[in-house]
Amino acid sequence: MMIWNQNKECMSREEMRELQGKRLHKLVSLVYHNTPFYRNKMQEMNITPDDIRTIDDIVKLPFTTKQDLRDNYPTGMFASNMSEIVRLHASSGTTGSPTVVGYTRKDLAIWSESVTRCLNAFGIGRNDIVSVAYGYGLFTGGLGLHYGVENLGATVIPTSTGSTEKHIKLLRDLGATAIACTPSYALYLAETIEKMGLSMDDFKLKAGVFGGEPWTEEMRVEIERRLGIKGYNIYGLSEIMGPGVSYECECQCGSHIVDDHFYPEIIDPQTCEPLGYGKQGELVFTTLTKEGMPLLRYRTRDLTSLIDEKCACGRTAVRMTPVVGRSDDMLIIRGINVFPSQVESVILEMKEFEPLYMLVVDRVNNLDTLEVQVEVREGYYSDDINAMLALKKRLANRMKSVLSINAEIRFMEPGQLVRAQGKSQHVIDKRIIK
C-alpha cells in the first residue's frame, strides 16, 4: 500500500510534537487577534498567546462547543476577512440555526491533501475511478471527497445523491473501482443491485470510502460480502474541515488522524478533564493550520479513544478507535446508557434481519419503553407463527444481553423502514419529561 506523505504521516512523535507546538503558537496568535470570541475568552482566563509555547500548553486553552458556533452565527468565528475566504459550507440546522464554515485557498489545499492521504491509504491511486455519492452542496462530504480525488490524480465521477438505479448503471458502465458514500447507503446500493438482478462480477469495484455516520465491524463485514469490496473508514466533520480528518490504513486497526493539521484530545464529557491515551471519552480537535475558521479544542461529541503507537503500516500518526456513539445521542433509558450502535451490531450479526432498524423510545406510566423495529429478510419469513415468535424472542434475548434492558421487538413489513441516502435517522424519542 502507498503512503502519500511519508514525511508527515510517519514523522517521529518528538518531531511531530514540536511541529504541533509551533503551529499551535501561531494559531493562538491568529485567533487572539482576529476572533473576538477567542480574545474575550482568553482574556477572561488571563492567558495571552505568549503563554502557549508547546503542544502541552493546549490544556490551558478554552473549549469550543457547537453552541458557541450557533451563538456566533453566521461568520462570527471567522479569523479571515471575507476577501480571503473562497468557499462556504453549512451544516444542517436540525437542532438550531445552521453552522457556517469558511475556507481560505490554503485551507482548501490542506483539505485536499488530507483527503488524498486517506484515499492513498485505501489503495486508491491515479488509475482509479471514484464515484463520489456523498451529497454535493452545502454538506462538506461531496465537494471534500471530490477535490481529494482530483488532487490524487484519479478520476472522479461526481454522482452526488439521486437515482440509485442510474448510479448503479454508471458504476458498471464506467468501470468505477471505488465508491465514496455513507455505509448505510452502501448497503442500500447492495440491496438495489441484487433487486436489479445484477452480479458483482459486472462491476470493477474494489474499495469503499465510507463515513458520515458511525458504523460497526458487523456492518463492514456485511458491506464487504455483498459488494465484494474492501470498506475503509474515513472520518471528518465540517466544523473541523469535512471528510479527511482521519482514515484507516490497510491494517484497519483504528483511523489515523491527520495530526499535523488536526490535533486530537480525549476529555471526560462531564468534567472536561483531559484523559490519557487508551481512555474512552469525548474527542476534541484543534485546527492547527486553519485560517478561515480556526477552532480551539472543539468538542465533537463523538465518543472514542486514542492510540499513540506506531502502526504496522509504518505510520506514526495517532489513531482513533471506531466512534462508539455520541455523547449527545446516547439514550438514557430506565437509567441505562444505550447507544444506537449497540442495537445495530446485534441486528447485523443475525442473518434473519435486514440491516435496518428504528428505535422508538417512549414513557408509559412513568416507565421508559424501548421498541426496536426491524424487518425480517426475505427468505426468512415463516408461515408458522410460532417460528416467527421464536425468532422475535431470540432477537429480544440478544438485545437484552447487549443492552441490559428489555426491548420490545416489532417486526415491520418489508420496505417499511426508511432506507437512508444520507445520514440515517435511527431514533424517535417520544418522551415528554414532565
Partner 1 sequence: MTTKQLSIFLENRIGRTKEVVEILSNAGIDILAFTIADSAEFGILRLIVSDIEKAAKQLKEAKISAIQTDVLWIPMDERIGALAEVLSKLAEGNVSIEYMYVCYSDSKPYIVIRPAQMELDKCEQIFG
Binding site for partner 1 (CB under 8 A): 376, 378, 381-385, 388-389, 410-416
Q: What distances in angstroms separate CA 163 from CA 180, 182, 227, 319, one per listed residue? A: 16, 15, 18, 36
Choose between 388 and 405: whose C-beta lies nearer to partner 1: 388
Measured distance between the N- and C-terminal CA atoms of the chain, rounded to whole angstroms: 56
Cα 19 from chain centroid? 26
Choose between 329 and 371: whose C-beta lies nearer to partner 1: 371
Choose between 335 and 415: whose C-beta lies nearer to partner 1: 415
Choose between 17 and 377: whose C-beta lies nearer to partner 1: 377
Q: How far is the CB of 225 from partner 1 (least distance, A)?
A: 22
Cα 263 from chain centroid? 17
Residues 6+ apart with CB under 8 A from 412: 373, 374, 375
Is 199 in contact with 168 (CB distance < 8 Å)? no
Q: How far is the CB of 408 from partner 1 (least distance, A)?
A: 9
Choose between 280 and 373: whose C-beta lies nearer to partner 1: 373
Grid cell listed for 280: 474512552
Rounded Cα gap, residues 193 and 243, in angstroms: 26
Strands 178-181 and 207-210: parallel
- The total of other beta-carbon atoms located within 10 Å of residue 196's CB is 12
DSSP letters, 19-85, are HHHHHHHHHHHHHHHH-HHHHHHHHHTT--GGG--SGGGGGGSPPB-HHHHHHTTTTTT--S-TTTE
Q: How far is the CB of 8 from partner 1 (least distance, A)?
A: 51
Q: How far is the CB of 187 from partner 1 (least distance, A)?
A: 18
Rounded Cα gap, residues 192 and 180, in angstroms: 17
Rounded Cα gap, residues 93 and 97, in angstroms: 5
Q: How far is the CB of 397 from partner 1 (least distance, A)?
A: 17
Choose between 51 and 371: whose C-beta lies nearer to partner 1: 371
Q: How far is the CB of 195 from partner 1 (least distance, A)?
A: 10
Grid cell listed for 72: 456566533
Grid cell listed for 293: 475558521
Rounded Cα gap, residues 86 and 401, in angstroms: 52
Q: How far is the CB of 414 from partner 1 (least distance, A)?
A: 5
Choose between 113 and 375: whose C-beta lies nearer to partner 1: 375
Strands 255-257 and 325-326: unpaired
Q: How far is the CB of 84 from partner 1 (least distance, A)?
A: 53
Choose between 14 and 384: whose C-beta lies nearer to partner 1: 384
Choose between 273 and 384: whose C-beta lies nearer to partner 1: 384
